């Protein structure tokens, strides 16, 4: 529970930092605004076409009674739109970070400088860093879909689909949303994407405490845009805890070869030949 609270505090600290630095807050709003317009258009189109997609996907229900056919297709359409919304939440951050890579890189650097030091980052050209960010985001999205797709199917199970599945869905979305947001500061430290996910997995409660409240806020229209600069700032603060604390931890020192242990007692001391 303490880690959950710590994750929420990082989110709050990031928002306070962003709102307290008006220039950088406005700097971080622009990419999020562009991505929001694109996603709003896509979700609106999905809402208008969900009924037709549901009818196309369930031809076997054409001969059912009106009540059961309509119930199935309304449920399918609602779950389809909910899955689209969940996918939008998962990918909104990745797309926004790609669109605004130079913006959020500078914002994240400023946050770390204000906290007492910032890693120098990579000397690679910007296009190579952008390509690497795209590949890393696709990898994270692929891992997220391994959980999201089964949860979508389980959503059709009565009771379970209306209680447990939504909670698990928010946890999955929050976890991978935090993974995307922390990628800016993690890349600056040259941490590969698999190692990043391992670091976050070791502090799962902390990551959920940061990501799940943010997902819930992102469900409110336009709030994602307003909170995005602070989310990047909070993620930079979280990385200073998760990544730097892990890498600075002292490695275990093996015992000296000559040190005795219960399993390998030291050989008895034998006197040498007498000196003359």
**Total domain count, the chain:** 1
Rounded to whole angstroms, what are the CA distances from 148 to 93, 142, 158, 231, 246?
17, 10, 18, 23, 29
**pLDDT recorded at residue 263:** 45
In terms of Cβ atoms closer than 10 Å to its own Cβ (0-12, 13-18, 19+), residue 119 is middle
Which tens digits make up the pLDDT trace of 228-264?
999 999 999 999 988 866 554 443 334 444 444 444 4
The answer to whether residue 17 sits within a structural domain is yes
Which tokens sit at 181? 């947001």
Domain of residue 231, residue span: 2-247
99 falls in which pLDDT band (50, 70, 90)? confident
Which tokens sit at 140? 């994270």
The answer to whether residue 142 sits within a structural domain is yes
DSSP 190: T
The mean pLDDT value of the chain amounts to 82
Task: Quote the pTM value.
Answer: 0.73
The answer to whether residue 255 sits within a structural domain is no
The answer to whether residue 275 sits within a structural domain is no
Which tens digits make up the pLDDT trace of 34-76?
888 888 898 889 888 888 888 888 888 888 888 888 888 888 8
The answer to whether residue 162 sits within a structural domain is yes
Rounded to whole angstroms, what are the CA distances from 183 to 40, 61, 102?
24, 45, 13
DSSP 123: -
Q: What percent of the chain has pLDDT over 70?
A: 86
**pLDDT recorded at residue 59:** 84
The answer to whether residue 242 sits within a structural domain is yes
d(CA 177, CA 215): 8
Number of other CB atoms surrounding residue 87 within 10 Å: 20
């Amino acid at each position: 529970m303490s880690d959950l609270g710590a994750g929420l505090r990082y989110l709050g600290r990031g928002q306070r930092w962003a709102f307290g630095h008006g220039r950088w807050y406005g700097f971080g709003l622009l990419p999020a605004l562009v991505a929001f317009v694109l996603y709003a258009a896509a979700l609106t189109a999905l809402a208008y076409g969900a009924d037709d997609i549901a009818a196309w996907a369930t031809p076997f229900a054409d001969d059912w009674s009106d009540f059961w056919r309509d119930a199935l297709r309304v449920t399918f359409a609602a779950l389809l739109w909910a899955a689209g919304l969940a996918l939008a939440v998962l990918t909104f951050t990745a797309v926004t970070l790609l669109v605004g890579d130079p913006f959020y890189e500078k914002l994240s650097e400023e946050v770390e400088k204000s906290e007492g030091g910032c890693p120098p980052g990579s000397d690679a050209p910007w296009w190579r860093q952008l390509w690497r960010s795209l590949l890393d985001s696709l990898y994270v999205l692929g891992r997220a879909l391994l959980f999201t797709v089964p949860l979508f199917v389980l959503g059709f199970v009565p009771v379970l689909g209306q209680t447990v599945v939504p909670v698990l869905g928010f946890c999955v979305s929050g976890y991978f949303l935090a993974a995307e947001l922390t990628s800016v500061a993690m890349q600056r430290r040259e941490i590969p994407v698999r190692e990043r996910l391992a670091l976050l997995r070791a502090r799962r409660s902390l990551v959920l405490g940061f990501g799940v409240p943010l997902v819930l806020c992102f469900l409110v229209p336009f709030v994602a845009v307003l909170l995005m600069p602070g989310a990047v700032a909070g993620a930079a603060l979280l990385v200073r805890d998760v990544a730097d604390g892990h890498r600075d931890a002292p490695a275990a020192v093996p015992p000296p070869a000559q040190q005795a242990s219960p399993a390998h007692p030291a050989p008895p001391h034998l006197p040498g030949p007498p000196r003359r």
